[in-house]
A and B are shown apart, each in its own frame.
Chain A
Amino acid sequence: MNCRSEVLEVTVEARQVDEAMLALLHTILLHRSTGKFHYKKEGTYSIGTVGTADNDCDFIDFTFVRVSSEELDRVIRKAVCEFKDALYNTGSDGMGQISLEFYQKKKSRWPFSDECIPWEVWTIKVNVVNLANEQERQICREKVGEKLGEKVINVVEVINRNEYLPKMPTQSEVDNVFDTSLKDVQPYLYKITYQITDSLGTSVSTTMRRLIKDTLAL
């Protein structure tokens, strides 16, 4: 199948990077997570319950809904933190992008390693600006809040097109489709990567690929 690719762009102030990324990543993951599967006899399964939690942003006039899972939140925060550090530390002029990729694993015969086939990729492009005074920052708070709202609407639009989703797997296949490592929710298999654009506009050669999950190397 073809991999769906969606790009979202945001312009934020430095201190808003974290929350903007979290807001969008969590919104996507909210829609791409289910409850834990419990397989029973005769090939049936039941699904656990997903709770939700509202998160108020401190530097943006915005509230987003995320899946109520501390583990997942930690993982995402860690990834966003690394992205933010990379954004500041490398000699970039504040441009970068973070990608959330949903994929399926396909078992291959030995000696080939399993394939990871993405079926949906969300790319969030970030442009960091510096603001001169408090008034501008206040305006930025509101504006970025509105922008994020628009992005959430975009995300919801895409998701509700009800396009391809991996088929529900059998018990033996569930790890090829879902991330079963969390104890309370079960997102589709995903990985988060990022790229920092240096001032020349090209990707930094040390594009770091961060595998948040224990996926196999491509």
Chain B
Amino acid sequence: MDGDLSPQDKKDLDKFIKFFALKTVQVIVQARLGEKICTRSSSSPTGSDWFNLAIKDIPEVSHEAKKALAGQLPGIGRSMCVEISLKTSEGDSMELETWCLEMNEKCDKDIKVSYTVYNRLSVLLKSLMAITRVTPAYKLSRKQGHDYVILYRIYFGEVQLTGLGEGFQTVRVGVVGTPVGTVTLSCAYRTNLAFMSNRQFDRSAPIMGIIVDHFVDPPCSSQRPAVMGQPCNYRAPDEEDGGAFAGVQDSQEVCTTSFSTSPPSQCVCTLSPSPSKMSKPLPLDSLQLPLAPGLVAHNMCPSRLLYQPGAAEVYPPAANANQLLHAGKEGGVVVVPCQPHGVDAHLTVEAPLTTPGSSGDDEGLSRSGEERREEGRSVSPSDPVESLNAFTRKVGAFVNKPSTQITAANLDLPFAAFAARGLDSEGSDPMVQPPESPPSQSPLQASLHSQGSEGSGPQDDFVMVDFRPAFSKDDLLPMDLGTFYREFQNPPQLTSLSLHISSQSMADDLDSLPEKLRVYEKNIDEFDAFVDMLQ
């Protein structure tokens, strides 16, 4: 069957199909993140954009896709499927759609691999982009948030459509004929959105998550298989592609694709494979069993961390400096350039606080991340207590470091985080003059305390909490307005107000007084004349 295909063409075709599969997954998952996608056109080929399309590669997604493929390619009888489902905050799930990349036996021997097939795959990806915005799951995914989240699962093998309920519809995105078969891309989507009308979801088949709203627990936390507990910076897989966790290596392969126009009907494709790639032939005759469905886990960093007093520092579980969580609403993304110290964290990854107002309001992590930044990352606490003392944070403008925790409950009141706290014994900040609000603190503090303040002692630091300023848009990045507030909550002290400088200047002032008085007395006539002039 492959006899007519030159080895170079065969190799190119395999590569095209592999990257087409990876890009397909990226397009589908990105279309279900719940946000608008925008990438830039570039007139000069960058060499890393497969199919001449600017499709970003989310590393986790690439990794999951590669894991699912496990070195194989979609082939006849081996389809690559991306299943999109919805999970509510109560834990109910429903499959929404299944995208299938299949191969059938119909070959097109005459087609030119490195030109026609490549371009047609490019057009097919564009069609996929257009169609992903049209199926019903798109609108659902744009509205995901508190009530539900959208999850994805990649599997390889037989297509499973039973979870889509009765009357599901199929839309064919397109086909591309190749010398080894015809690539078909289609989507089957549920039409019966009556939720939980048939609870087919098998709880023993966990779904890996994606696009989790940061207010909600990671999906399937109650049925988490061992693999779900993986931290976000999981060890780079030891695969044939050199363990490129970032996935960028792959996408940088090829793509110095050039085409020939002389004669116009022919094409010479010059590909420059990256050296680390795929030195062994792809095992097209499947040697491996397809992965069990549902066991491809996506790592979700628990979205909620409670910083407890007494803890030295807060780290997200095993985050590293480059960690980026791709949560759907990126309000949930926690990008924390944490110091890679040993995790001496009294972390509490909590179930959602059951207080009503608290859903998703304590993104302690970003707060702690800021702390790191503020301290100039110079705090390297070998001693937790020392590090606490080193903090001189102020919560809210003009407010001393509170002696109590701030927890999520304060968000019942907008801008409660700004409310003044009592002076604590450390208060050597002349700048910090609590306004006459101390009396009003007590109800707040009482409510704060009631939120499970476990700290004690005046040196206790406050709980990292994120607040959502009223009317601020909870969009892609964690709350610009909130970030603004946080950053400007703690303005540096005015030098003139710091004690030792002021005392110094006071002494200077006193010394210079007699001199000044003499000068003024000498010029008293001038001053009088000036005053007369003004009258």
Residues of A within 8 A of B (CB): 27, 30-31, 34-36, 38-40, 42-54, 56, 61-65, 67-69, 149, 152-153, 155-157, 159-160, 162, 167-171, 173, 183-185
Contact = CB atoms under 8 A, between A and B. Distances in A.
Given A30-B126, A53-B38, A153-B134, A35 B139 contact: no
B270 to A, nearest CB: 7
Contacts of B256: 46
B44 A156 contact: no
B49 interface: yes
Q: Which 4 pairs from chain A and chain B are nearest by CB?
A: A43-B262, A160-B174, A51-B39, A54-B36
Contact of A49 (B45, B129, B172, B265): B45
B42 A49 contact: yes
B37 A54 contact: yes
A38 B44 contact: yes
Given A35-B45, A65-B130, A168-B267, 18 more contacts: A30-B129, A35-B52, A38-B43, A38-B44, A46-B45, A47-B257, A48-B42, A49-B46, A49-B54, A50-B54, A51-B39, A54-B38, A61-B139, A62-B133, A149-B134, A167-B265, A168-B115, A169-B261
- Per DSSP, chain B at the interface is mixed
Size class of the B contact interface (CB-based, 8 Å): 35 or more
Contacts of B53: 49-52
A64 B130 contact: yes
Q: Mostly helix, strand, loop or mixed at chain A's interface?
A: mixed
Contacts of B120: 162
A47 B254 CA distance: 13
Contacts, number: 156
B138 interface: yes
A39 B123 CA distance: 21
Interface in B355-391: none
Contacts of A149: 134-135
B261 A35 contact: no
Given A38-B44, A47-B52, A152 B130 contact: yes
Q: Name the residue among A31, A38, A64, A67 with the largest chain B CB count within 10 angstroms.
A: A31
Contacts of B37: 52-54
Given A35-B43, A51-B42, A63 B36 contact: yes
A48 B262 contact: no
A145 to B, nearest CB: 8
